[in-house]
Amino acid sequence: MSGDKKIIPLRAKLKPQYRTSKQLHCTHPDIVVNAERRLLQCQRCDLWIEPFEYLLGWARREWAAEYWLNELDEKLRKKAKQLKALKREERNIKARIRRAKGA
């Protein structure tokens, strides 16, 4: 067997690397489920990911996105209100100019 270059030491390569949320993350989108090991694995960097950690990260990103959208919605409402006030002010100024020219 020794000297046969076709044999790949899979055991050594597939040794699970458990990492928590405080440790190294990968942000690659190519995550696959490994049912045998009950873990997730990144197809690009081979990082093993604990499924709950992955789900937790996903939930946090969803929450952050929702919060960000609510913030934007609020800013949009404020800007629309300001625009309405500016248009009213513009109408008033134009009316004053017309009155001043007519006087």
H-helix or E-strand containing 42? strand 39-42
Angle made by CA atoms 79, 68, 55, in degrees to the nearest 5: 165
Instruction: Kindly tell me which of 28 and 75 has the beta carbon lying closer to Zn ion.
Output: 28
By CB under 5 A, the count of residues binding Zn ion is 6
- Report 21-80 residues binding Zn ion (CB under 5 A): 26, 28, 42, 44-45, 47
Instruction: Kindly tell me which of 7 and 52 has the beta carbon lying closer to Zn ion.
Output: 52
Residue 38: CB partners within 8 Å, gap ≥ 6? 51
* Positions that interact with Zn ion (CB under 5 A): 26, 28, 42, 44-45, 47
